[in-house]
Structure formats: structure tokens, C-alpha cells
Structure 1
Amino acid sequence: MARQQERAKRTRAALVESAAVEFAKRGYAAASVNTILEGSNATKGAMYFHFQSKEDLAKAVLAAGVGRFSELTRRWTERTDVGALEALHGLVVDLANLFRSSVIVRAEFRLIVEPEFYPDVQEGGSKVWGGAAYQLAMRAADEGTLRPGATPERFMRVLSSSLAGQRFLTDFTKEDDLLAERFEEALEVILEGIAAPEWLEKFHRDGWPPIVSEVVG
């Protein structure tokens, strides 16, 4: 029984991974179930044992993507060895690296712009990392590294939309290798207007501290 359960678990994971590859490449509507089956080495019967439809499979990819985002953001929001803005920088750079390294994450980002999954945007990956940015901005305010009167809510909204826009642009221009640089640039431009002068003076002098990446592949 345990062996059968383990085999079923591997089959399900292979289907989700193969579906992510197909969704990331073609989007939801054009994705081929047959191609997903070929990529996973699973039978159609095995697929329908785990998933009732292609839509059900896509929702599993969305959930897996949210899981990857949650793991990454939790590691950075729980860091206490660096300041909040330094942790936010690490989060932003690792977020870009996660987009590059994880086909699950790329597929999640592709799926949420499909009409079939508009309702999932509010609970998707952007909510996870947007919430982490807000949490770190709140901590930065407590640490005194934001300007007086700066609101974490506005900071989070502007940063989230800026990162999403950079992600779309690098997709169009096929410049994924520049994503971390673009994300870092977006954060720095926003911080010029919202960070405390004392923090900015130190940043202009010393730059960012070295990042120990939290992306494990």
C-alpha cells in the first residue's frame, strides 16, 4: 500500500511539473493534454485519477506556485540578522531568481493573466510576495528606515505593480537573465522616494550588502 501511495504521489508530481512546462510555454487555452501526458510519462487514466480536467490540473499548478512563493517569502520575512530593507532587497532578488529557476512559478505567472483564472489573482503568488513586502515595509517603518509619513501600503502597491511590469517586459523582450537586475532597479528607484535620508546616505556610500540566496533551485 505504501509503495502504491508513493507511486501515485510521484505520478501526480510529474503531471503537475509537465503541465507547468506546457502552460508556461503555451498558456492555458493552447496547452495540449497529450503533450502534458507525454512529458509526464503518465496515462490518461492516471491523469484523470488525480485531476478531473485540464482546469483542475491548472489549479494544481497555481497552488504549487503559491507554495513556492510562500516558502521563499517566509524565509526572508523571518530573517532577523539583517535590516528590513536589506531583507526586502534579498527577497526581491531571490524572487527574480525563482522566476528563472522554477517552471512552476513561471507557469503560475502565465496562468493568472488568462481569463479563466482572473478570480485566482487575488489569492495568487502576487498576494504572497506583496504581503511579504508589506510586512517588511512595516518593519522598516518601526526601524526608522522609512521617511516620516511614508505608508507601507503605498510602498507595497507601487513595488508590486513595478515588479509585475518588469516581469512582463522581460517576457516580451526575452531578457530573463536581466530580471534580477530589473527588480533591483525598481526597488532602488522607489526607495529613493520613500527611505529615510540617513538610510539613503549609507546606501549611496556602501550599496547593498552581499546576498546569501534563499533560492534552492
Structure 2
Amino acid sequence: MTEHLDRRTHSTTRRPQPRGLRTRAKILAAAATRFDTEGYSLASINDILAGAETTKGAMYFHFASKEAMAQQLASDWSTAVHKAFSAAAGEPLIQQMTTVFRSLARQLESDTNLRAGLKLTLEPSIDGAHQSYMQWVDETSELVDRANEAGDISDTDAAHRLAWNLCAGFTGAVQASAVLREDVNLSTRVEDVLDAHISAIAAPARNHHRIRDLGDAIRNTKLATELIITAGDPCL
């Protein structure tokens, strides 16, 4: 599995005080807002500082550069993904996938930092950011493989592409929702993505179980009839 993005963004080894932590959070939130609405390349340091209501000196105490802020946000997204998978552990495998993606969608609707972090994982100019995206795909892929081994989904080419398609579809929904501003929320869009991919692939397995259950019911009915005949039921 791809390792989590882990980069030092603090310019010194001193432990920040509570006031410093608040300043750092404000800078990161201001950067996330700019990255989310304008994109990484268009976001300027001056605009971020204005949004955070702080100085360049304060910023450089916490972050060596604009890229360092972006790397931190991408890393925070990676952490959120890992927590979502951990929280869903123990559920049926297919349910785990839907739980994870639903949880992430709900978080992104209200958390600008995480939303920006996801978008930044696909920014080619940020060193190492794509590792956070690949970690998400890898964790999803492991779950898909386990579901395949358990017989919950069919062993098809589409199933082997499921992890990539789910992450790409989720990301596309996030990007489109921000640009189009439609009346359909992100969670609903993500539900559509899940239905389009997981339901189609899981259907053969579910149909198999329904056919098996139907066969059991037919055999049980036949057995019951034979027992009645053997017993000489006067109604027959």
C-alpha cells in the first residue's frame, strides 16, 4: 500500500503554543478556501495571508511555502480516508465500501480543508501529493479484492477496475458540484456513483443467492409433498 504523505511543514523544532496553533489553523483554512475555489496555481500567498489576517512572518513560521500548505491538506485528506475505512471495519464488505464513500461525501460537504485536500491530491505540481490519492485507491482496492474472494462480487474486468472507478467518480462529483452549483447535493451524487458501479457488479452475486434460495424453497416444497403422500394424508 502507498504510504501516507508525511512531510514536515514546520520551519523549526519548537512546539507551537495554543496561540500559534490557532494561527496555523487559520492560515491552513484560508489556504484551503483559496485552493478550493480558485485552484492551486491561482491562489496567491497574499490572498491567503489576507484571508488568515496574519503576516508573512507568521506564515513562514508554520509553513515553508504555499506548497507546504497544500501538502499538509493532502495529507489531512489521506488521514480522513484511513479513518473512514477503519470506522467501517466489521461491516459486510460491500457495505463497507458504501459506508466509506458516504462518510467522505458528508465530510466534504461541510469541510473546506478536506475538500481542498482531495482536489490537491491530483495537482501535478505538488511534490508527493498524488500519493494520498493512490493510498485511497489502494485501500478501496484491498476491500474490492476481499469482496471478490468472498464471492460478494463477480470476478470480472469491471470488478478489477472498481476501486479506480469509484475514486474517480467520487472526485468527479466533487469537482462538478463545485462548478455547476446544482440543487443536488454531493451526497446524492455520490449515491448515484455507488449505485452505478457497485450495484451493477454485485447484482450477479445477489441473483445467485436469490436463485439458490428459490431452489431450496422448491426442494423443501417437494420434500413436504412426498412426506404427505407417504403418510397417506386423507386429503389426497
Q: TM-score range, shorter-chain basis?
A: 0.7 to 0.9
Q: Quote the residue 1:101 is aligned against.
A: 110
Q: Report sequence identity in percent.
A: 29
For residues 54-203 of structure 1, what are the structure 2 equivalents within 5 Å? 54-76=66-88, 79-80=89-90, 82-117=91-126, 120-121=129-130, 123-124=131-132, 126-148=133-155, 153-175=160-182, 177-195=184-202, 197-199=204-206
Aligned partner letter, 2:113: I
Query: How far apart, CA to CA, are the structure 2 residues paired with 1:159 and 1:93?
Result: 12
For residues 27-66 of structure 1, what are the structure 2 equivalents within 5 Å? 27-66=39-78
Question: Alignment partner of 2:54: what SS?
Answer: coil
Given that 1:73 and 1:129 are in contact with CA atoms closer than 8 Å, whether structure 2 keeps it comes out as no
Given that 1:20 and 1:103 are in contact with CA atoms closer than 8 Å, whether structure 2 keeps it comes out as yes
Aligned partner letter, 1:42: T
- For this pair of structures, how many residues does the alignment match? 197
Aligned partner letter, 1:86: Q
Q: Which has the larger radius of gyration?
A: 2
Distance 1:52 1:17, change over 3 A: same
Higher RCO, 1 or 2 (CA under 8 Å, sep at least 6)? 1
Query: How far apart, CA to CA, are the structure 2 residues paired with 1:187 and 1:15?
Result: 35
Runs of 4+ in 1 over 4 A off after TM superposition: 148-152, 200-203
Q: Quote the residue 1:12 is aligned against.
A: 24
Normalised by the size of structure 1, how large is the TM-score? 0.76
Distance 1:159 1:4, change over 3 A: closer
Given that 1:159 and 1:186 are in contact with CA atoms closer than 8 Å, whether structure 2 keeps it comes out as yes
Aligned partner letter, 2:101: V
Runs of 5+ in structure 2 lacking a partner? 1-13, 211-236
Query: How far apart, CA to CA, are the structure 1 residues paired with 2:124 and 2:204?
Result: 43
Task: Name the Cα RMSD after superposition.
Answer: 2.9
Q: Which has the higher helix share?
A: 1
Q: Quote the residue 1:211 is aligned against.
A: none
